[in-house]
Amino acid sequence: MATPQKRAAPVSFTVCTMSKIKSPDEKKRMSYEKDRRNVYGENSKASRKNIPRSKQRAHMAERHVAAELLRTLGPTPVESNLEKAEGEVKAKTRLQRLNGFKKDPDKPLAEVLKRRAARQQRLKQYRDRNGV
């Protein structure tokens, strides 16, 4: 009787591609363009909870609109009223969805840093004028 042979564990390789951008200045410029920051005005950690919560509220509002329209039909609706109500529900829920939650896109890092530098400059001028 032959003994079963052990299989070798599968080997996985990750391919590391080198950056095509070689100069540090170019890397910094690309970073300013591509990196983004949340400038909504709340704690950055709060977004992790508030964005899903806002989406949830929007979905709840959609369901509320649909339920409200369907409640007007009564317990035993007529077939013709059902078709008309279905069209209304689709139209109103679509409108609700379009007016619902939309996350404001984050701003590019370069823009955020320009705003921060301008604000610091204004504060410095204010302190110099008022002797603060």
Structure tokens at 66: 């649909």
Q: Which of 53, 26, 56, 31 is nearest to 42 (CA)?
A: 53
How do residues 90-129 score in pLDDT, each as one tens digit? 898 888 888 888 888 889 999 999 999 999 999 999 999 9
Instruction: Report the distance separating Cα 24 and Cα 90, nearest Å.
Output: 54
| Extended strands (E) in the chain | 36-37, 107-108
How do residues 8-33 score in pLDDT, each as one tens digit? 667 777 777 777 877 899 999 999 99
